Amino acid sequence: MEASQTGWGTNRSVFDWNGKPGFGQAVPLSLQHILAMIMGAVTVPIIVAGAAGVTPAEKTVLIQMSLIFSALSTLLQLYGASIFGARLPVIFGVGFAYVPALVAIAPQYGIAGIMGAQIAGGIAMIVIGLFMTRIRKYFPPIVAGTVVLVIGLSLYPIAINYIAGGIGAADYGSGQNWTIGMFTLCVVLGVSKFARGFLRLASIICGILAGYGLSMMLGKVDFSPIAAAPWVSVPVPMQFGIEFHGAAIISMVVICAVNSVQTIGDLSATTMGGMDRELSTKELFGGLMGNGLSTLLGAFFGGFPTSSFSQNVGIVAMTRIISRRVLAVAAVFLLVAGIVPKFGAIMTTIPFPVLGGATITVFGMITMMGIQLINKDEMSVRNVTIVALALALAMGLDAVPQSLDHAPALLRQVIGGSPIVTAAAVSILLNILLPQKTLADEAEDRARIERRLKDRQA
């Protein structure tokens, strides 16, 4: 039956994990994932390089390593190696979650201090993975869903800042930037809702191409990064050195441990949104172990810590495309872009308003996946309290970061840097401390109170 449908003796469905679509289909579908995450993967080393005061040549190497280890960590998660890798349709790479810690460490200890702290952080991730079977009970759908919900909400400012032109842009918030962003968004929505067949699945890449074309007509595309990028660059181990400093290690271990919670949320959202099922303990164990290994090995080459990319989780949920080949093509492209920087430079010419307009719907999908996960558990008063307090504190502290001005520096760095940290900490703690009560238990409590009141009145 399968062979007669495809005309080949193999499964070519893009909606099947083992599906092997032709490269004519796989390449444009993989480009959606590349374009959604590459600016983030490239921006992190640029920010850290500025904080560390490295040379332009060293900054180029850091960008190169970010692309290479984004590719290697993704391939590890897709195909696995022994106990490492989730074997799920996910994109991993250097992420924004670590930026507050990296920027705090860089001026004082330099890149070498970051790499030393990162080794400890990678080991911490692996240790968490090793004990995951014992602590999995602390991450039920109500906790994982709350984390995913906050991940989605926390991404909205990124999309809006992108649409406005990118933080620090001279024309930030200009009508031209908003026009490009909204035009890109409209193309994505139009193609996804009214197109048919393969074109509908490639709605995000269609929107990006349309927005890119409009940006070129308006003179918003800068091709200078392509000319400046070298043709070939080979990774060299220990080129930045490795130093160990206690304060840097503590900071990195904390943020790596917290990022493991985000990984749990993203992996849960992937299986829920793309596969209509909950995440298995084996997949979670492999995902955490793989992320720890990628982070650990990256330290020896100048690659920063890796994490799951929430925007790519949203693409999987939006398109339901889970073919491993599609995501593997994206990873191979990132690898080539790292070794041949001119290819990667082409991606960096995409204006921020185009990326913002193309990804804001994706971020909204992540939020809805969080709500779906939360609804997997009963909406008892206990569970509603967990979600409500975690959400209120996470988004409240994120909106008013100055409220932590007098808190210890480490607490400001960890909690003030990401609402995901607060949401994870609060939801996990409340899930442990609050008595387990089902809707039936709560109904019985109310009935008991009502009987007592009637007895007193009698």
Which stretch of DSSP H or E encloses residue 306?
A: strand 306-308
Q: Provide the β-strand partners of residue 81.
A: 84
- What is the domain partition of the chain in residue ranges? 2-376, 378-458
Residue ranges of alpha helices (H) inside 305-380 are 310-319, 324-339, 341-347, 352-374
Q: What is the pLDDT of residue 7?
A: 41
Q: What is the pLDDT of residue 1?
A: 34
Q: What is the pLDDT of residue 197?
A: 67
- And the tokens for 335? 């690898």
Residue 29 · residue 85 · CB < 8 Å: no
Which stretch of DSSP H or E encloses residue 154?
A: helix 141-164
What distance in Å separates the CA atoms of residue 184 and residue 177, rounded to the nearest whole number? 11
What distance in Å separates the CA atoms of residue 414 and residue 310, rounded to the nearest whole number? 19
Within 13 Å of residue 109, how many CA atoms lie on the same side as its CB?
A: 23
Burial label for 393, CB within 10 Å (0-12, 13-18, 19+), is: middle
What distance in Å separates the CA atoms of residue 170 and residue 22, rounded to the nearest whole number? 43
> pLDDT of the chain along its 458 residues, tens only?
333 344 444 778 888 898 889 888 888 889 888 877 876 787 788 778 877 888 877 888 888 899 999 999 999 999 999 999 999 999 999 876 677 678 778 888 999 999 999 999 999 999 999 988 787 778 788 888 888 788 788 878 878 988 999 878 889 999 999 999 999 999 999 998 888 766 776 788 888 889 999 999 999 998 887 887 788 878 888 989 999 988 788 878 877 887 787 788 889 889 988 888 888 989 999 999 999 999 999 999 999 999 888 778 888 888 888 999 999 999 999 999 889 888 767 767 888 899 889 878 877 877 887 888 888 888 899 999 999 999 999 899 888 888 888 888 767 766 655 687 788 889 989 999 998 888 888 888 888 888 888 878 76
Residue 302 · residue 115 · CB < 8 Å: yes
What distance in Å separates the CA atoms of residue 441 and residue 19, rounded to the nearest whole number? 46
* Residue 362 Cα distances to 152, 179, 311, 318, 365, angstroms: 9, 19, 6, 7, 5
What distance in Å separates the CA atoms of residue 402 and residue 415, rounded to the nearest whole number? 12
Where do we find the tokens 């007592």? 452
What distance in Å separates the CA atoms of residue 93 and residue 141, rounded to the nearest whole number? 25
Residue 414 · residue 361 · CB < 8 Å: no
Between CA 378 and CA 385, with CA 384 as vertex, the angle to 5 degrees is: 140
**Interacting residues of 103 by C-beta distance below 8 A, sequence separation 6+:** 47, 48, 51
Residue 377 · residue 141 · CB < 8 Å: yes
What distance in Å separates the CA atoms of residue 147 and residue 110, rounded to the nearest whole number? 32
